[in-house]
Chain A
């Protein structure tokens, strides 16, 4: 479907610059959070009744919390340079970097599944609506798109849970059911659908609009006139060019899906980065909070970079 494109030197330089910028953003963001958190009164162990004065001092020393914050910041930056985000303040002895690396895998798996839902459902609806413009198919798809966009991900989650957990269970007498959680492949689709459907609606709207523009162009008429099959004309000639405007929202969309996953992970009990963030912020485990910010900043940056590197594949006029 796509022409082969060699990786040019320009692309590599561009990608390298972006990677530097992403690292910079990640460090700046986590530094702001680090400094903000260290301005808070009290310390992490002050309220722990089991700690005696001696233990507390030892704990504070272990975490370098007895140093003035600029010194702590330098130590933390040194750790960061080695990829070491420190230890959890609540679960003593837990190293944060391996913990978050394990969780980011879960979040990325869920996010990718949601992106697949978004693009799959969104583009099919959009193309259908465009090629059947002003018929009931178009009206149904377009209305569904606005409604789908207005229903937030967690409402989709509740509806899907009602359908799968209660509905299917009752109708099939317990043969088909969904169990909430993570670890089995059949547990992925429901949260991925909930996460992806609101954005699928946006993609559908955009695909419809840009398809409508493209299918009126001369080269598409030529393709029909040559007697090509509908599948070839729509998919190879029209859709490929219609995808270019759609690709522009992929960046915000990926950020939106990452944000939405915080709530969806929490509701479905999925052990990802988002759930870790919520638990650690509620238990005031600020070391993990800072670490999650670093990971999320890197994740958003890398996702956007991936999207930008995909543009030249869709539109050969774009070069970096």
Chain B
């Protein structure tokens, strides 16, 4: 006789299950963005090129056709041949091996500097945008003064002061590269902190740290990812600049910028020495820019230009 009266909760659950197949497929924001990204031809080509250089970089850490530093006097400057597909440089070193090794350096510096700079930029941007007032004035002043000097000069003087190891190079690049990220995150935070869901979180007593990490940061993540992607090629070019000026990763490490400037001395008799690292560098930068453009369009279709 006793019938169990279903509670409202059970009814709701039942309805959800019944209607599930009629609902449109549930897609998260990131799944949706990924789908749009993989439909973008240029972004996919970019990812393939980046993947190729990543694999090359990883392989170069354990194996290159020849040692990147081994010199062979007598056959210097010789052009491409079967034994040396990209030829030999001014010290008789195998250029293919050195381009492979250069990929490792370029990607370590590029990705490393992008991560470090993003971390600094996100933290300072969040602080400036969320707390406003004195914190914001201080951080914004720092940003504006740093924008007043060419970043290359700051990096150069820092490298001279702290030395030229690969970690120091990453640090020297990050010390200026965070500015753009901080500006972006500050702007995003300023806008997000006024939104209702932040207001709601604050009204139930959520701590500031949790509001920043759980409510504001995830909502600003889209533009952050795009900016971090663009930071990678910028850092790669920056490292090449430092190497060109003789202040990059110290020799005999095969940095692309250093290889190019070494080949520059012999550009008329052996252009292949200059061209190989330049092509590798430009291709990598191009691939990251394509990926960045693709990400920008995929994450926020309204930003499409």
Contacts and interface: CB of A to CB of B under 8 A. Distances in A.
Contacts of B271: 162, 166
A166 B233 contact: no
Nearest to B156: A281
Interface of B: 42, 144-145, 147-153, 156-157, 160-161, 233, 237, 240-241, 244-247, 257, 260-261, 264, 267-268, 271, 274-275, 278, 281-282, 285-286, 289-290, 293, 305
B86 to A, nearest CB: 16
Nearest to A158: B274
B293 A146 contact: yes
A262 B268 contact: no
A301 B151 contact: no
Given A158-B274, A166-B267, A262-B150, A151 B282 contact: yes
A contacts with B: majority SS: helix
Nearest to A24: B145
Given A152-B285, A154-B257, 16 more contacts: A29-B148, A33-B157, A150-B233, A154-B241, A155-B278, A155-B282, A158-B260, A158-B264, A166-B268, A255-B147, A262-B153, A263-B244, A266-B245, A277-B153, A293-B153, A296-B153
B28 to A, nearest CB: 30
A282 interface: yes
B269 to A, nearest CB: 9
Contacts of B144: 25
B129 to A, nearest CB: 21
Contact of A262 (B152, B233, B275): B152
13 contacts: A146-B289, A149-B289, A150-B282, A158-B260, A165-B267, A262-B241, A266-B244, A267-B264, A281-B247, A282-B246, A292-B153, A296-B153, A300-B149
Contacts of A278: 156, 245-246
A152 B147 contact: no
B183 to A, nearest CB: 11
B245 A262 contact: yes
A165 B268 contact: yes
Contacts of A40: 161
A26 B145 CA distance: 9
B184 to A, nearest CB: 14
A57 interface: no
Contacts of A277: 153, 156
